[in-house]
Amino acid sequence: MNKENEQKSVEGFSLTAKLFHWGFILIFSYGILKQIDNINQLEDLALLKFEIIFALLFILFLIIRFIYMKRTQKSSLPPDTTKFQKAAAKLVHYGMYVTMISIALSGLVIGFLYWLGLKSGLLIETIIFWHESSVSIVYWLIGLHLLGAVYHWIKNDGVWESMVPILNRNRE
């Protein structure tokens, strides 16, 4: 790898991109921690309203983040990265966007159906299945994302350093 390409991969993402990345981790973690345990908790109108507002803001934040990243940032993968790795990275990243939006959308549909009085039955059970499946899929995608990050930390190719502010290694 020549010095110009090496420097480009080390520069990494903008501060805004890093704030979007790490801020989103906090927001997503909060969403997981505050999740409801039982659909009947939606009887509490204040909780239902909060869940709706949180889901809408979550989707808005995801859309803004996606647009910002697509328009302003370039991949930090080194130029010699295989086509398979590039495709896998893109699939995982896009998959996380899709499944996270799917989590919020299915949650909104659940809340809407519950508000309409459809508190049980095949329709709401199907939407709950969609919601729970999206959560399971996003956990797997996050795991793959973390494995990829650790792989690049071990490889010491500058990808880890482009986004992660800790455990940076000096490149040889």
Inside any domain, residue 172:
no
pLDDT surpasses 80 at 168: no
In a domain, 58, yes or no: yes
pLDDT in tens, 121-157: 999 999 999 999 999 999 999 999 999 999 999 998 8
Please report whether residue 170 resides in a domain. Answer: no
Query: For residue 11, what are the CA distances in angstroms to 4, 21, 54?
Result: 11, 16, 34
Q: Is residue 17 part of a domain?
A: yes
Q: Are 153 and 160 in contact (CB under 8 A)?
A: yes
Write out the two tokens for 60.
């808005």
pLDDT tens-digit map of 68-121: 999 999 888 999 999 999 999 999 999 999 999 999 999 999 999 999 999 999
SS3 content of the chain, % helix, strand, coil (to 5): 75, 0, 25
Q: Are 28 and 100 in contact (CB under 8 A)?
A: yes
Q: Note whether residue 74 is domain-resident.
A: yes
- Per the structure, the complete domain to which residue 122 belongs is given by 3-163
Instruction: Quickly state the pLDDT bin for 62 (edges 50, 70, 90).
Output: very high
- Which of 21, 7, 1 minimizes the C-alpha distance to 73? 21
Residue 78 lies in a domain: yes
- What is the enclosing helix (H) or strand (E) of 35? none
Q: How many domains does the chain have?
A: 1
Confidence of residue 162 (pLDDT cuts 50, 70, 90): confident
Task: Kindly report, residue by residue over 5-23, the tens digit of the pLDDT.
Answer: 333 334 678 889 999 999 9
